[in-house]
Homo-oligomer: A and B are copies of this chain.
Amino acid sequence: MATLGDIGLAAAINILSAFIFLVAFAILRLQPFNDRVYFPKWYLKGLRSSPTHSGAFVRKFVNLDFRSYVRFLNWMPAALKMPEPELIDHAGLDSAVYLRIYLIGLKIFVPITFLAWAVLVPVNWTNSTLEISKVTYSDIDKLSISNIPEESQRFWAHLVVAYAFTFWTCFVLQKEYEAIASMRLRFLASEHRRPDQFTVLVRNVPPDPDESVSELVEHFFLVNHPDHYLTHQVVYNANKLAQLVKQKKKVQNWLDYYQLKDSRNQSKKPMMKTGFLGLCGDKVDAIEYHKSEIERLSEEIAAERERVTQDSKSIMPAAFVSFKTRWGAAVCAQTQQSRNPTLWLTDWAPEPRDVYWENLAIPYVSLTVRRLIIGVAFFFLTFFFMIPIAIVQSLASIEGIEKAAPFLKPVIEVKFIKSFIQGFLPGIALKIFLIVLPTILMLMSKFEGFICLSALERRSAARYYLFNFVNVFLGSVIAGSAFQQLNTFIKQSANEIPKTIGVAIPLKATFFITYIMVDGWAGIAAEILMLKPLIIYHLKNFFLVKTEKDREEAMDPGSLGFNTGEPQIQFYFLLGLVYAAVTPALLPFIIVFFGFAYVVFRHQIINVYNQEYESAAAFWPDVHGRVITALVIAQLLLMGLLSTKKAAQSTPFLIALPVLTIWFHRFCKGRYEPAFVRYPLQEAMMKDTLERAREPNLNLKGYLQTAYMHPVFKFEDDDEEEEVNEKLEHESVLVPTKRQSRRNTPLPSKFSGSSSPSLPEAVVQEHPQP
């Protein structure tokens, strides 16, 4: 049990370390040679060029202007200065809305903190239960609900305040949902033409013996959307091609390097060895070698591309279908096309850069099986992840290693190595697991078959939150591995579980306060310092960077990381809501976290992170849902806690809270969620009409022709790309049917085998001859 003094000391240490991080950041960011680490966003936008190109040699690397060091916190107001519309323009709606999550934290917890300190702290403080009971307690506990005697009438205060908290949280959430839904719609409406507004992704195109996928798609949509269908692009399985292109790019880069070297030092021809890592094999002229390599790869690429575009096997049963109007696309995306609801699945096409190409061809049955497998796997991951780690830990012990590899015995027995193994190895297994966990979850989502990066990240975030809740929150509160908890909970009755956790909640307040300071305060300060990218960039710059292009690639700012960042924020919502009525002393720490994190992430979003895709805040329903979950958990735990305090007369009033909260959630879901999954026809029509009036002669087909090409085709040289385009265009204009029975079909053919796609009306009407 920590006293107020202990907490104060921990706070001081963490504030100090945060302060050190900030000072270090303030110094490092002003050095020109770090410029690409701390301001990559501006480089990517083309608004900033390398400072190393101009000026005195020293000033290229070190900032000698000491005045700039004085105002070392001036990035903070700068970060806050940019207004939201500009931020949306600069970094996308996703990032801007992501920042609003921190703001909601402030909006929810600042009034709650005031209310809690005004009402609950006096109510709790003016008791002496803890003093009388003679148990060890900290000063923090005197402010908490633990200090109230059993059966006290004072619990009514907590009850009323819990209602107030719930209503305030729901109120803020509802306002925010409304605001973000309208932001999203405004964003979608104000945007310029985007290919995904006109395009629908069709999956599970059924196999047909007579027609290729491309022909099938064209015929199907000409028949079923005759007035709106414009064009389509089939999806190629270009994974091998992508690999070859990547290889060629690498070789090209080496060639550039050697040519640069050669031009600087004409006397000596650059030589290299062809074997493993350039360490063995024949010594050859590097430039010649790479030139021939490029030639070989170019040939291979051409052959492979030929194969991909010709071979029907490399065409996946999926296609991006574009429509003449947004209205047509909205209709197609929201309706069912065929009798069999697992064929011709239509969905809004994600943004081109958001597409996860590998998953486009998974058939329906496989999808449901994958979902089952991943569901079971995640269950085991969450509750049994300690088992393999415990095995590794036992292997990583001295005895384990000696048993597994007796020949290592003399080495291990050296004292230094022994103490290293004993002290370090057991912990490192868990640490490594926790570091790779987001990657594992991402792989799971990929296996599950989502077709866009944004959906992958959303699903991973949901799983990460669940993992954190079970293993960090419950694990800390009840102190036991998740498996033990599961075992306990299964054996406990439904109303015992909230009691068991509820009772432990106030005792863990000081632990979580420390957690907030370490993970929240210092962690966020470390975030802005960007130590890992900084080191990696300088290492790369020193060892690997050969050309300017390489330097650009070494500067990899990464993206915001919704899948790890959002669950972390949600964890603070959970802590705040759970402790609001129990230990109000924790709330100020939460507020500091939200405020500080808001400023830091605003800075990072403006200056560092690159936007990988734009989902127009499609993640908001998830965020909303998780805050609601935290609220319900908080209510249940308070109920459990109060019922152990023998405040039985007040608990019935608490039962209404989760019911009302869940009802509120369903209300919000019905009211606002459609804005995030559907696209109203009214909007589509309005935008179509406006566009038709403004640009009557727009060549939409040309615009959409190559929007959804596999990225590998885009890396090609221009003339090659054109060739492919031409091929694609050729293919989608002239599709003679290969169907044998085309005119003599007695019943209307499923695809109404047409002869001339340019006359859809005539085709449709001509066909049925009963």
Q: Which residues of A contact B (CB under 8 A)?
A: 185, 220, 223-225, 227, 327, 330-331, 334-339, 341-342, 344, 364-365, 368, 371-372, 376, 489-496, 659, 663, 666-667, 670-675, 678-683, 685-686, 689-690, 692-694, 748, 750, 752, 764-765, 767-770
Contact = CB atoms under 8 A, between A and B. Distances in A.
Contact of A368 (B223, B491, B667): B667
Contact of A339 (B372, B489, B670, B680): B680
Nearest to A679: B336
B690 A768 contact: yes
A365 B668 CA distance: 10
Contacts of A667: 365, 368
Contacts of A227: 227
17 contacts: A185-B339, A223-B682, A227-B227, A331-B335, A334-B334, A334-B335, A335-B335, A336-B680, A342-B671, A364-B670, A368-B666, A368-B667, A491-B495, A492-B493, A494-B494, A682-B750, A689-B752
Interface-central residue, A344, A693, A767, by most chain B CB under 10 Å: A693
Contact of A671 (B344, B364, B693, B764): B364
Contacts of A689: 748, 752, 764-765, 767-768
A693 B770 contact: yes
A495 B770 CA distance: 63
Given A224-B685, A341-B678, A490-B494, A692 B335 contact: no
A295 B148 CA distance: 78
Given A493-B493, A689-B765, A692-B765, A336 B674 contact: yes
Closest 6 CB pairs of A and B: A341-B674, A336-B678, A334-B335, A693-B768, A372-B663, A368-B667
A670 B367 CA distance: 11
Interface-central residue, A672, A686, A748, A752, by most chain B CB under 10 Å: A686
Contacts of A489: 493-494
A682 B493 contact: no
Contacts of A693: 765, 768-770
Contacts of A765: 689, 692-693
A368 B495 contact: no
A293 to B, nearest CB: 49
A689 to B, nearest CB: 5
Contacts of A679: 336
A752 B681 CA distance: 14
Nearest to A338: B682
Nearest to A185: B339
Contact of A681 (B335, B686, B764): B335
Contacts of A490: 493-495
A653 B16 CA distance: 55
Contacts of A683: 339
A86 B680 CA distance: 43
A160 to B, nearest CB: 22
A223 B689 CA distance: 10
Contacts of A341: 670-675, 678, 680
A496 B495 CA distance: 13
A676 to B, nearest CB: 10
B682 A224 contact: yes
Given A376-B659, A493-B496, A337 B681 contact: yes
A339 B182 CA distance: 9
Given A223-B682, A335-B678, 4 more contacts: A335-B335, A338-B680, A341-B673, A341-B674
A372 B680 CA distance: 27
Contacts of A694: 770
Interface-central residue, A490, A493, A752, by most chain B CB under 10 Å: A493
A683 B765 CA distance: 15
A344 B667 CA distance: 17
A358 B331 CA distance: 31
A368 B768 contact: no
A223 B671 CA distance: 24
A764 to B, nearest CB: 5
Given A223-B685, A682-B337, A748-B686, A670 B494 contact: no
Contacts of A365: 667
A723 B365 CA distance: 57
A337 B673 CA distance: 14
Interface-central residue, A225, A496, A667, A673, by most chain B CB under 10 Å: A667
A331 B693 CA distance: 25
A106 to B, nearest CB: 28
A660 B494 CA distance: 25
B334 A330 contact: no
A14 B650 CA distance: 53
